[in-house]
Amino acid sequence: ETGVTQSPTHLIKTRGQQVTLRCSSQSGHNTVSWYQQALGQGPQFIFQYYREEENGRGNFPPRFSGLQFPNYSSELNVNALELDDSALYLCASSLALAGGREQYFGPGTRLTVT
């Protein structure tokens, strides 16, 4: 157990809808990163949040957006869902003061878009 929690566990949405996924970081960790893992692939970096600001972004369109709150928890929002958005969404927390090198994953949210 890493202490990183995510909700919901599973989610089924229809193409075109919007979804919000939530993450609580491990106690003491101030940085949250989001990854998308398609079946049979490694996780792909979406973005990272530090001090409530986006600290870097991968190759994902603007309809993927996020927030970080003062308690370091985070949300991932996806608008205009597409079938290819079906994946496991992973949140990882780390401590920036340690260089943020080691990232610990939560259990993930399985999103299915129909």
User: What residue ranges bind another protein (CB under 8 A)?
Assistant: 2, 31, 33, 35, 40-45, 48, 50, 55-56, 58, 88, 90, 92, 99-108
Minimum distance from CB of 69 to another protein (Å)? 19
b (16+ CB within 10 A) / e for 56-74: eeeebeeebbbebeeebbb
Of 80 and 110, nearer to another protein (C-beta) is 110
Q: Which residue's CB is nearer to another protein, number 14 or number 39?
A: 39
Q: Is 9 exposed, middle or buried (0-12, 13-18, 19+ CB in 10 A)?
A: exposed
Residue among 7 and 17 whose Cβ is closer to another protein: 7
